[in-house]
Amino acid sequence: MLKEKEYEVVKKACIEDSEEAVVFGEGNLDAKIVLVGEAPGSKEVELKRPFVGQAGKNLDEFLEVVELNREDIYITNVVKIRPHRINEKTGRKVNRPPNKKEIEKYSRYLLEELNIIKPRLIVTLGNVPLKTLTDNKEIKVSEAHGSVIDTGDKMIFPLYHPAAVIYNRKLKSVYLGDLLKLSKYINGSMR
């Protein structure tokens, strides 16, 4: 089956499997690099696109440092719906981390996306995609960030999640250092 067709089948199955609005991945199906985040937030659900809220602004900075365009890569999340709870006072939705059930359910679709695209490098943003794609519950982004992990069938470059860098300013220089290492890797081993 054609790649595009196969992709549409997976996307459709994911939407049909969900009771809430799905934010599927988007980008170049021939991308050499795929970025994987945790889960969409409210802006992402509103626009039905990954990484368009505040975390998306950080992502643009990221792409600039590593000299990549959004059109060259593919961007997705482990979980394709917005994990939320309802604030009792305001009645509004508040983000929460994805739970085990959501991660298990949606990681199947993530693996299918990756199987279609077959990228040479997967950049994980934060702990959720790192643990999911290495299939290792013990691994931590605070220890693994900034160098390539070869799982045997995938090359993974773990980075902190852009939101963590917003909340913890001390991580900013570490994050920038990691981006430079990533840039070197892309321009060295991948060209």
Which residues form the interface with ligand URA (CB under 6 A)?
Answer: 37-41, 44, 50-51, 53, 55, 77
For residue 49, with 0-12 CB atoms within 10 Å meaning exposed, 13-18 middle and 19 or more buried, which class applies?
Answer: middle
4: left (phi over 0), alpha (psi -120 to 50) or beta: alpha
Report the residue number, 94 or 190, with the smaller CB distance to ligand URA: 94
Q: Helix count (H) and strand count (E) of the chain?
A: 8, 8
Residue nearest to ligand URA (CB): 37
Output the smallest distance, CB 191 to ligand URA, in A.
28
Report the residue number, 5 or 163, with the smaller CB distance to ligand URA: 163
Output the smallest distance, CB 37 to ligand URA, in A.
3
Instruction: Say how far apart CA 147 and CA 143 lie, in whole Å.
Output: 10
Output the smallest distance, CB 157 to ligand URA, in A.
16
Using the structure block, give the residue that is written with the tokens 């996307």: 11
Output the smallest distance, CB 53 to ligand URA, in A.
6
Do 116 and 33 meet the contact criterion of CB atoms below 8 Å apart?
no
Q: What are the phi and psi torsion angles at 84 (to 5°)?
A: -150, 165
Report the residue number, 89 or 100, with the smaller CB distance to ligand URA: 100
Report the residue number, 37 or 158, with the smaller CB distance to ligand URA: 37
